[in-house]
């Protein structure tokens, strides 16, 4: 607990009057604001800070025809102390709610330490005056006891020593000035600001009570913003809110430590995200406020189009609640008209899933099937299109996450375009991690989701669509909630508004993830990192006796499948041992061979894969 302005002396007026009277004696006029700004510092430092302001130092020079010196500071401090001592005992009354609140906390076993900007001699008066009115602390440290006062952390450390507290995480520092907040931040304790009765508010109790609500609200929000900017963990209206705040801190202390997770996810999504992405979710957003719709959603929509096409004029983007499959289903269900026909080229589970979606939705479809270890063959696609002119739409997966096989967009897309079909690409696991020239390739709908190569958290997917094609889809959807056109129209007209409740925290995390993609150097740089991850993994695993499922030319940098090394291999044991060493991998998903998969995407780097290889080596011995 701080003293003046926090525990006693509502508004922190005692030093204020003494400073002003002292400066008057030096023919210097100081404003209330100038006087309050350094409040909380040791008083001699406070005087020096005021003198340093240009307006005050100019007044001094004008009157004395020289600059102020340290000798002046000491002399001023002596005069200040005289004034302060004369009135100090009148400013020792506890602030409302302080006594009851701290009595209650003490009854729960919490110890009350204290720090101050007052000297030991001043505190003798204040402590005695406060005690007479019912306010007591368990420990008092003044700047005289330590090498430096605020904003240095030493007074807090001395309290921890005196009261035998073993961790700064178990300490909350409560204060009313920015110097208090910084003292707490420097000490690494929970730093809490109190608004009402504070030096930062600068009102007497009577002024506070008489203040009109608008002015008061404006004043309070300024003080809160200043305190948060100084590093406060919490800013409370008054001390009565402290017990509830401590409950909240205790809940946070009891939560799992969230560093990078207890293990790395080497999986194709959800995947390992950065700390900043996780942290960005610690705010609640209103779904119809412009801070969210303009500031977050619209920015994302525009960035996605730019990432996919390099420009923004012919394409648009739609964000949709749910996982990636919801977006695939929304796209197929909305893009293909009742009299249309869809050709699906499938070489894995996600291609097959498109077939299942088409069947559920009653979409007329035909399928071109390939082995799971075989790329979609351009000549077969060409044959199929030539053989059946009734086909209107073509869809396939870019990177089949089933195995990690990459289908050759550069040859497949031009064929579809030559036949003038609408082209839908599931680039779920590749968009953001592999450069794709969406416009150049003539892709009409490119589908991806938040929790793959953009490195966000799961909760929504998105579609990059050619605007002209999308505009022809009105009224075609076979579902209400998965109506891609309606979702788009609402977002366009509402400036980023989603049709139904949007996953606000996830969307905010995605915005952070996009910034991190930019900071990394864009998709090309991320592609290089994934390729490096994949190469280190693949070479290292080979040297440990594991064979990749796919031939190198078909292998994507996204995820790698490995064959079981022998008949006795137990994936479950392998998995559990790796997990215990901090790595979570993925089971296989194909029918013809026993495999397991290791993802190369997410906030993971070559050194993580070297560590993984060490772990594999250790558990294989």
Angle between helices 154-163 and 178-187 (to 10 degrees): 60
Q: DSSP string covering 349-387, please?
A: HHHHHHHHHHHHHT--EEEEE--TTSPPPHHHHHHHHHH
> Which residue in the set 267, 325, 375, 560 belongs to the binding site for ligand PLP (CB under 6 A)?
325
Residue 270 or 340: the one with the smaller Cβ distance to ligand PLP is 270
Residue 12 or 343: the one with the smaller Cβ distance to ligand PLP is 343
Please tell me the distance from the alpha carbon of residue 215 to that of residue 141, in angstroms, as a whole number. Answer: 36
CA atoms within 13 A on the CB side of 305: 18
Identify residues 164-223 at the interface with ligand PLP (CB under 6 A).
none
Beta carbons within 8 Å of 140's beta carbon, 6+ residues apart: 113, 114, 116, 123, 127
Residue 331 or 449: the one with the smaller Cβ distance to ligand PLP is 449
Output the six-digit token pair for 412. 């497949």
How many other CB atoms are found less than 10 A from the CB of residue 191? Answer: 26
Identify residues 548-607 at the interface with ligand PLP (CB under 6 A).
none
> Which residue in the set 426, 486, 603, 608 belongs to the binding site for ligand PLP (CB under 6 A)?
426
Residue 44 or 354: the one with the smaller Cβ distance to ligand PLP is 354
Closest CB 349 distance from ligand PLP, rounded Å = 8
Measured from each CB, the residue nearest to ligand PLP is: 324
Secondary structure of residue 515 in the 3-state scheme: helix
Q: DSSP string covering 109-176, please?
A: T-----B-SS-HHHHHHHHHHHHHTT---S----GGGSS--TTSSHHHHHHHHHHT---GGG-EEEES
268 forms part of the interface with ligand PLP (CB under 6 A): yes
List the catalytic residue out of 9, 43, 220, 486: 43
Closest CB 330 distance from ligand PLP, rounded Å = 12
Please tell me the distance from the alpha carbon of residue 486 to that of residue 72, in angstroms, as a whole number. Answer: 73
432 forms part of the interface with ligand PLP (CB under 6 A): no
Binding part of the chain for ligand PLP, among 71-79, 279-287, 322-330, 481-489 by CB under 6 A, reads: 322-330
- Calculate the alpha carbon distances from 187 to 43, 152, 154, 254 in Å: 21, 8, 8, 21
397 forms part of the interface with ligand PLP (CB under 6 A): yes
Supply φ then ψ for residue 395, to 5 degrees: -140, 145
Binding part of the chain for ligand PLP, among 224-232, 273-281, 321-329, 602-610 by CB under 6 A, reads: 321-329
Residue 197 or 557: the one with the smaller Cβ distance to ligand PLP is 557
Q: How many residues belong to the site for ligand PLP (CB under 6 A)? A: 12
Closest CB 348 distance from ligand PLP, rounded Å = 8
Q: Identify the bridge partners of residue 463 per DSSP, sorted by sequence position.
A: 318, 447
- Per the annotation, the verdict on 220 as an active-site residue is no
Identify residues 399-418 at the interface with ligand PLP (CB under 6 A).
401
Closest CB 450 distance from ligand PLP, rounded Å = 9
With 0-12 CB in 10 A as exposed, 13-18 as middle and 19+ as buried, what is 9? buried
Please tell me the distance from the alpha carbon of residue 65 to that of residue 555, in angstroms, as a whole number. Answer: 80
The helix (H) or strand (E) run that includes residue 57 is: helix 54-64
Binding part of the chain for ligand PLP, among 65-73, 172-180, 423-431, 504-512 by CB under 6 A, reads: 423-431
How many other CB atoms are found less than 10 A from the CB of residue 1? Answer: 26
> Which residue in the set 115, 191, 317, 429 belongs to the binding site for ligand PLP (CB under 6 A)?
429
477 close to 483: Cβ distance less than 8 angstroms: yes
Binding part of the chain for ligand PLP, among 22-30, 185-193, 317-325, 524-532 by CB under 6 A, reads: 317-325
How many other CB atoms are found less than 10 A from the CB of residue 87? Answer: 15
Please tell me the distance from the alpha carbon of residue 531 to that of residue 537, in angstroms, as a whole number. Answer: 10
Binding part of the chain for ligand PLP, among 198-206, 421-429, 543-551, 593-601 by CB under 6 A, reads: 421-429
> Which residue in the set 381, 428, 585, 612 belongs to the binding site for ligand PLP (CB under 6 A)?
428
Please tell me the distance from the alpha carbon of residue 429 to that of residue 599, in angstroms, as a whole number. Answer: 10
Residue 116 or 429: the one with the smaller Cβ distance to ligand PLP is 429
Residue 117 or 268: the one with the smaller Cβ distance to ligand PLP is 268
> Which residue in the set 26, 91, 234, 350 belongs to the binding site for ligand PLP (CB under 6 A)?
350
> Which residue in the set 5, 40, 269, 456 belongs to the binding site for ligand PLP (CB under 6 A)?
269
Closest CB 325 distance from ligand PLP, rounded Å = 3
How does DSSP classify residue 4? B
349 close to 343: Cβ distance less than 8 angstroms: no
List the catalytic residue out of 2, 233, 426, 608: 2
Residue 324 or 433: the one with the smaller Cβ distance to ligand PLP is 324
How many other CB atoms are found less than 10 A from the CB of residue 17? Answer: 15
> Which residue in the set 114, 177, 449, 600 belongs to the binding site for ligand PLP (CB under 6 A)?
449
- Per the annotation, the verdict on 43 as an active-site residue is yes
Residue 44 or 307: the one with the smaller Cβ distance to ligand PLP is 307
Active-site residue set: 2, 43
Q: Summarize as ranges the residues that interact with ligand PLP (CB under 6 A).
A: 268-269, 323-325, 350, 397, 401, 426, 428-429, 449
């Amino acid at each position: 607990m701080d003293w003046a302005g926090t525990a006693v002396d509502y508004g922190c007026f005692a030093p204020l009057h003494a400073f002003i009277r002292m400066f008057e004696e030096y023919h210097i006029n100081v404003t209330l604001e100038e006087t309050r700004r350094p409040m909380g510092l040791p008083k001699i430092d406070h005087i020096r800070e005021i003198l340093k302001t240009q307006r005050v130092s100019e007044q001094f020079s004008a009157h004395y025809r020289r600059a102020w010196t340290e000798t002046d500071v000491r002399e001023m401090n002596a005069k200040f102390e005289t004034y302060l001592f004369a009135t100090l005992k009148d400013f020792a009354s506890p602030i409302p709610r302080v006594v009851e609140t701290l009595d209650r906390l003490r009854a729960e076993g919490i110890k009350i330490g204290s720090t101050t900007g007052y000297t030991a001699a001043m505190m003798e008066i204040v402590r005695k005056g406060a005690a007479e009115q019912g306010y007591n602390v368990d420990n008092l440290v003044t700047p005289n006891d330590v090498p430096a006062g605020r904003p240095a952390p030493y007074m807090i450390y001395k309290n921890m020593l005196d009261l035998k507290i073993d961790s700064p995480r178990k300490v909350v520092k409560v204060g009313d000035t920015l110097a208090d907040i910084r003292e707490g931040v420097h000490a690494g304790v929970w730093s809490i600001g109190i608004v009402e009765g504070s030096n930062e508010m600068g009102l007497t109790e009577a002024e506070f009570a008489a203040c009109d609500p608008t002015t008061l609200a404006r004043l309070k929000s300024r003080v809160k913003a200043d305190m948060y900017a100084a590093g406060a963990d919490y800013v409370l209206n008054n001390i009565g809110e402290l017990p509830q705040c401590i409950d909240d801190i205790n809940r946070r202390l009891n939560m799992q430590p969230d560093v990078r997770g207890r293990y790395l996810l080497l999986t194709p999504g959800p995947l390992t995200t950065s700390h900043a992405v996780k942290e960005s979710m610690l705010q609640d957003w209103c779904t119809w406020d412009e801070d969210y719709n303009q500031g977050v959603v619209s920015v994302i929509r525009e960035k996605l189009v730019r990432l996919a096409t390099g420009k923004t004029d012919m394409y648009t983007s739609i964000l949709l609640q749910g996982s990636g499959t919801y977006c695939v289903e929304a796209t197929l269900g909305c893009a293909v008209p009742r009299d249309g026909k869809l050709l699906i080229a499938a070489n894995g589970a996600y291609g097959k899933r498109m077939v299942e979606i088409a069947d559920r939705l009653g979409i007329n479809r035909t399928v071109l099937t390939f082995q799971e270890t075989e790329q979609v063959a351009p000549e077969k696609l060409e044959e199929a299109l030539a053989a059946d002119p009734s086909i209107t739409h073509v869809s396939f997966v870019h990177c089949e996450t089933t195995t990690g096989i990459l289908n050759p967009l550069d040859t497949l897309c031009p064929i579809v375009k030559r036949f003038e079909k609408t082209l839908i690409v599931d680039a779920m696991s590749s968009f953001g991690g592999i450069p794709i020239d969406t416009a150049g390739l003539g892709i009409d709908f490119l589908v991806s989701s938040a929790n793959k190569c953009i490195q966000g958290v799961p909760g929504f997917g998105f579609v990059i669509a050619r605007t002209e094609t999308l505009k022809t889809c009105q009224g075609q959807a076979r579902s209400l909630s998965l109506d891609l056109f309606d979702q788009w129209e609402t977002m366009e007209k509402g400036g980023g508004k989603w049709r139904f409740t949007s996953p606000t925290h996830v969307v905010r995390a995605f915005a952070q993830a996009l910034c991190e993609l930019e900071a990394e150097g864009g998709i090309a740089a991320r592609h290089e990192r994934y390729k490096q991850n994949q190469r280190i993994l693949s070479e290292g695993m080979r040297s440990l006796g594991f064979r990749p499922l796919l031939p190198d030319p078909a292998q994507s940098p996204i995820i790698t499948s490995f064959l079981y090394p022998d008949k006795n291999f137990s994936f479950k044991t392998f998995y559990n041992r790796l997990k215990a060493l901090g790595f979570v991998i993925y089971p296989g998903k194909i029918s013809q061979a026993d495999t397991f998969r290791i993802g190369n995407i997410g906030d993971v780097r070559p050194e993580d894969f070297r560590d993984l290889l060490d772990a594999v080596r250790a558990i294989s011995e």
